[in-house]
Amino acid sequence: MGSLSIWHWLIVLLIVVMVFGTKKLKNIGSDLGGAVKGFKDGMKEGGQAAAGTDTPPAGQVSQDTTKTTIDVEAKQKS
């Protein structure tokens, strides 16, 4: 009852292929691969851009000495 045998995994794979179809599974695989490739490229570009400038990387807060005031008009709910 512990681990599943190879026959269990083959049956699960057969059911998944029957439900989704091979074309949809191929599209999901290529989309996932493209997303991973884009993430890796973004990480490489982010590292190169951060090394060349004095601005902090995305997600980090820098200490800004200028203060900006924004005036807005609040409307009450009726």
- For residue 56, the one-letter residue type is P
pLDDT single digits (tens) 29-58: 899 999 999 999 988 887 776 565 555 555
Is residue 56 assigned to a domain? no
pLDDT at 11: 93
Q: What pTM was computed for the model?
A: 0.41
HEC string of the chain?
CCCCCHHHHHHHHHHHHHHHCHHHHHHHHHHHHHHHHHHHHHHHHHHHHHHHCCCCCCCCCCCCCCCCCCCCCCCCCC
Residue pair 57/46 in contact (Cβ under 8 Å)? The answer is yes
Q: List the domain range (segments joined by +) for residue 36.
A: 21-51
Give the count of domains, the chain: 1
Is residue 64 assigned to a domain? no
Is residue 61 assigned to a domain? no
Is residue 42 assigned to a domain? yes
Is residue 26 assigned to a domain? yes
Is residue 35 assigned to a domain? yes
